[in-house]
Amino acid sequence: MVPITTLHYLVVAAALFVLGVIGVLTRRNVVIVLMSIELILNAVNLNLVAFSRLYGLHGQVFAIFVITDAAAEAAVGLGILIAFFRNKETVNVDEVDLLKW
């Protein structure tokens, strides 16, 4: 049995972060892009909580703030998406093409 060390958490967090970045850059659906952003923020939380095993509570407090922020961002994001959908009837990012150059 290999004991779980801080490094293991960091590797998982890094994987989540990379998956989130890939999701944001490649997905068409805005809802999935928002979910990928949540994935990035959860990678941050995992990092912070893993590090706070070494250094004390600061990291966990930061993680709670990041969770709050993610909730606020999702709420505003879905609100903006609904306003957009009412006028345009689509949630695909490649059809968001009124403003360019």
Partner 1 sequence: MTQFFTIVDYVMSLPIIMLTLFALGILLMDLMVPAQWKWTNAVTAMVGIFFSAAAILFRTQRGLTMARLSAQSAYMNSMLVDHFTIYFWYLFLAGAAITVLMSVRYMEIEHEHHGEFYALILFSVVGMMCMAAGMDIVLIFIGLELMAISTYVLVGFLRRDRRSNEAALKYLLLGAFSSGIFAYGLSLFYGLTGSTNLLIIAKRLAEHPGKPSAIAVIALLTTATGLLFKIAAIPFHQWAPDAYEGAPTSVTGFMSVAVKAAAWAMLLRIFLWGLYPLRSVWVPLLVFVSVITMTGANLAALTQNNLKRLLAYSSIAHVGYMLLGLVALGSVDYPAPAFFDGFKGILLYLLVYTFMNLGAFGVITSLRQRDVIGDEIDDIAGLYFRAPTESILMLIFLLSLAGIPPLAGFYGKYFIFLSLIESRHYILASLAVLYAVFGLYYYMRIANQMFMREALDNTRLPVSFGMKVGLGITAFATVVIGIFPEPFIRTVTWSLGIALSAPVAALMR
Interface contacts to partner 1, rule CB under 8 A:
10, 17, 20-21, 24, 30, 33-34, 37, 40-41, 43-44, 47-48, 50-51, 54-55, 58-59, 61-62, 65-66, 69, 72-73, 76-77, 79-81, 83-84, 87-88, 93, 96, 98-101
| Minimum CB distance to partner 1, residue 60 (Å) | 11
Q: Which is nearer to partner 1, 2 or 98 (CB)?
A: 98
From residue 14, alpha-carbon distances to 21, 29, 31 in Å are 11, 24, 22
Give the residue among 66, 64, 62 at the shortest CA–CA distance from 74: 66
Q: Which is nearer to partner 1, 1 or 99 (CB)?
A: 99
Structure tokens at 16: 């989540």
Give the residue among 85, 74, 82 at the shortest CA–CA distance from 33: 74
